[in-house]
Amino acid sequence: MPSSNPAFGRGFANATNGAAGQQYANWGAPQPYGAPTQDPYSAPAPYARTTTRYMTMDDVVQKTGLSFLVTVVSAAVTWAFLPQDTALGLALPAVLIAFVLGLVIAFKQIANPAATLAYGALYGVALGAISEAFNDLYPGIVMQAVVGTFGVFAGMLVVYKTGAIRVTPKLTRWIVGAMFGVLALILVNFVVSIFAGGDALGLRDGGPVAILFSLVVIGVAAFSLLLDFDMADEAIRRGAPAKFAWYIAFGLLVTVVWLYLEILRLLSYLQSD
């Protein structure tokens, strides 16, 4: 069944159309008159091993782990060695650069270690500054958010692996639709707040509506992990090259960072009551 994920478009077509496919196409082709007859026993076998190494789950785990490690180290260095004012001053430029880089990676389907690790390092700077600021206001909140984030990650991985929730085209459409709905609400709230002042829709003021909205966002981010897990499995089934694991790692990093920030925000609402 064709995937609805755009990552499996031309990228997979190019990855799976290699030398072996060309050998199949030429096998048995008529020879022009007078040309030497090809000895089928001396011809390279159409099933001969190619130089392409296909992606495995080990590749996904290793690349994702390295991407998370770079992000965490970058955040820790920012928190530990930069003054808070300096770190907060670097947070916005880091987020903007990482946002642009993320769009380039997503739309051009870049499976490259430099791009993915650079994205993680940039977001690590922002996460370090934001986490330090939250932890100063609510001591211990960062550790709670980290535990909550990886708890949700582990829980959704178990749900996916056990088949308790299957990723179907219908579920994919619902999750993608919910993601766009959340982003649209955030954008509308931001624009209205510019003209009306304050938190016009109450989505980020720490009240009951804000708490409910954060719970919805956390739920959408958690279900987005299912799409990331399914993307990794489908890439392996389709024989994607090993380097595609960097693209999978990028997708998982985006979702986990989003999940962590929203859990951090929710915990701050609950502790401020």
DSSP letters, the chain, are ---S-GGGSHHHHHHH-SHHHHHHHHTTPPPPTTSPPP-TTTSPPTTPPPSPPBP-HHHHHHHHHHHHHHHHHHHHHHHHHS-HHHHHHHHHHHHHHHHHHHHHHHHHT---HHHHHHHHHHHHHHHHHHHHHHHHHSTTHHHHHHHHHHHHHHHHHHHHHHTSS---HHHHHHHHHHHHHHHHHHHHHHHHHHHH-S-TTSSSSSSHHHHHHHHHHHHHHHHHHHHHHHHHHHHHHTT-BGGGHHHHHHHHHHHHHHHHHHHHHHHHHHHH-
Q: Is 88 exposed, middle or buried (0-12, 13-18, 19+ CB in 10 A)?
A: middle
Q: Which residues contact 178 (CB under 8 A, 6 or more apart)?
A: 220, 223
Q: Is the pTM of this model over 0.75?
A: yes
CA–CA separation, 137 vs 130, rounded Å? 11
- Residue ranges of the domains in the chain? 54-272
In this predicted structure, what is the pLDDT of residue 4?
40
Q: Which residues contact 19 (CB under 8 A, 6 or more apart)?
A: 50
In this predicted structure, what is the pLDDT of residue 273?
59
**Residue 241 main-chain phi, psi, to 5 deg:** -65, 160
CA–CA separation, 23 vs 242, rounded Å? 22
Token duo for residue 122: 């940039």
In this predicted structure, what is the pLDDT of residue 44?
45
In this predicted structure, what is the pLDDT of residue 51?
60
In this predicted structure, what is the pLDDT of residue 254?
95
Q: Which position has the token pair 């009951």?
A: 208
Classify the phi-psi angles of 167: left when phi > 0, otherwise alpha if psi is within -120 to 50, otherwise beta. Answer: beta
Maximum C-alpha span of the chain: 90
pLDDT by residue for the chain (273 residues), tens only, comes to 434 444 444 444 444 444 333 433 343 344 443 444 444 434 444 444 456 788 999 999 999 999 999 999 999 999 999 998 999 999 999 999 999 999 999 999 899 999 999 999 999 999 999 999 999 999 999 999 999 999 999 999 999 999 899 999 999 999 999 999 999 988 888 888 877 776 767 788 888 999 999 999 999 999 999 999 999 999 999 989 999 999 999 999 999 999 999 999 999 999 875
